[in-house]
Structure 1
């Protein structure tokens, strides 16, 4: 697994499942100058699922930062 932890604005609990939807931008992001299309996390999760893995996010809430995890299965031994 690969984990990326930040000390950013955090993600409210109710938004954690929504952030992986196509074109989704959390309401608290629009008040900042952070630009984006809302596609990044959607693409990460889509690619992970196509390879039998998963991607998810955790956050203790606003102002607490977030942790993003990407898990992919190990390749079979040959």
Structure 2
């Protein structure tokens, strides 16, 4: 679980943040460089390992939490 206290993610963007090359269109983030691949890659790796990743945000100005869940494999 990774949590920040940043600008948050609007509900409309929450549906798309794991898509390849997607970048949130928030004005205050216009100066932040990136490719829009980070969360896409995280989700792909998690799914290959039988896990999942999801995001939670109460909306703009409320920060964001990214949760990564991986199965515990029996030895």
* TM-score, length of structure 2 as denominator length: 0.93
Which sections of structure 1, spanning at least 5 residues, go unmatched? none
After the TM superposition, which parts of structure 1 deviate over 6 Å for at least 4 consecutive aligned residues? none
User: Which residue in the other structure is 2:36 paired with?
Assistant: 38
Which sections of structure 2, spanning at least 5 residues, go unmatched? none
Alpha-carbon separation, structure 1, partners of 2:22 and 2:66: 16
Alpha-carbon separation, structure 2, partners of 1:29 and 1:18: 17
Aligned ranges 1:1-78 → 2 under 5 Å: 3-28=1-26, 31-77=29-75
CA-atom RMSD in angstroms: 1.4
Aligned length: 75
Q: Please report how far the alpha carbon of residue 33 of structure 1 lies from its aligned counterpart in structure 2 after TM superposition.
A: 1.4
Q: Please report how far the alpha carbon of residue 56 of structure 1 lies from its aligned counterpart in structure 2 after TM superposition.
A: 0.5
CA displacement 1:29-59 (0-9 Å, x = unmatched): 6753111000000000000001110000000
Greater percentage in strand: 1
